[in-house]
Amino acid sequence: MTPTLLLVHGWGFNGGFWSDLLDHLPDFPAEVVDLGFYGAPIIPTVKRPLVIAHSMGLAWALANIPRPWAGVLAVNAFPRFTRAPHFVEGVPPRLVERMLARFAEEPAEVTAEFLRRCGIETPPPAAALNPERLGEALAWLGKCDERTALKMLNCPVQAIAATKDTIVPEAMSRAAFAGLDLVLAEGGGHLLPLTHPDWLAAQIRQFAARAS
């Protein structure tokens, strides 16, 4: 039986992030988490989901989605984002701290700059943002650490990273998923679900066959 996909987006995005990818998976039952960065949050309840998580979505899922899971496919993702003594490949904490310091006064500008770094040239209009939820999530991003939760998962785990990801560099992905199945998209950036939806859909089909 094919498990239901539960898709979780990262910081600065919404549930519509997955539309192109889901168009390539019409035969899969799927539910989409929306963290409420541009409106009301939507958190579906799915029994034994196959979690597909992008970027911060993996750490959020590990902290918030009840187990058991059928499996988890981490895309451009991480269980911890910032550097720590035993995770030197993480992002320097001061980078998130600087974003937070500006965010209080310029939430739309900070969000737009981040999205442009990801590869989104036309960010959503400022009026669409929910600054409170974005700010809370950004603060959590700077301190979250779900590495233990990842290790404790009792289900198949696969990570997909990209060699040209400027948000989650390849070295960070290799460190975060050491000892786990890691697939690299040569030349890909931080938005594989948007730039490589057909390729990623094929990866999900292969992984789902193992996880079901």
- The predicted-structure confidence for 46-58, as pLDDT tens digits, reads as follows 999 999 999 999 9
Q: Is the pLDDT of residue 212 over 80?
A: no
66 confidence band (pLDDT: 50, 70, 90): very high
Across 72-82, average pLDDT: 98
8 confidence band (pLDDT: 50, 70, 90): very high
Contacts of 196 (CB under 8 A, 6+ apart): 185, 188
What per-residue confidence (pLDDT) applies to 15?
Answer: 97
How many CA atoms does the CB half-sphere of 93 hold within 13 Å?
A: 11
Q: Is the pLDDT of residue 80 over 80?
A: yes
18-25 long-range contacts, CB within 8 A, separation 24+? 18/52, 18/193, 20/193, 20/194, 20/197, 21/193, 21/197, 21/200, 21/201, 21/204, 23/197, 24/197, 24/198, 24/200, 24/201, 25/201, 25/204, 25/205
Token couple for 9: 């987006």
What per-residue confidence (pLDDT) applies to 108?
Answer: 96
- Looking at the domain that runs over 5-211, which CATH code has it been given? 3.40.50.1820
Round to the nearest angstrom and report the end-to-end CA distance of the chain. Answer: 6
What per-residue confidence (pLDDT) applies to 2?
Answer: 84
Could you give the percent of the chain with pLDDT greater than 90? 96
What is the pTM (predicted TM-score) of this model? 0.97
In whole numbers, what is the pLDDT of the chain averaged over residues?
97
What per-residue confidence (pLDDT) applies to 155?
Answer: 97
Write out pLDDT tens, residues 108-156. Answer: 999 999 999 999 989 899 899 999 999 999 999 999 999 999 999 999 9
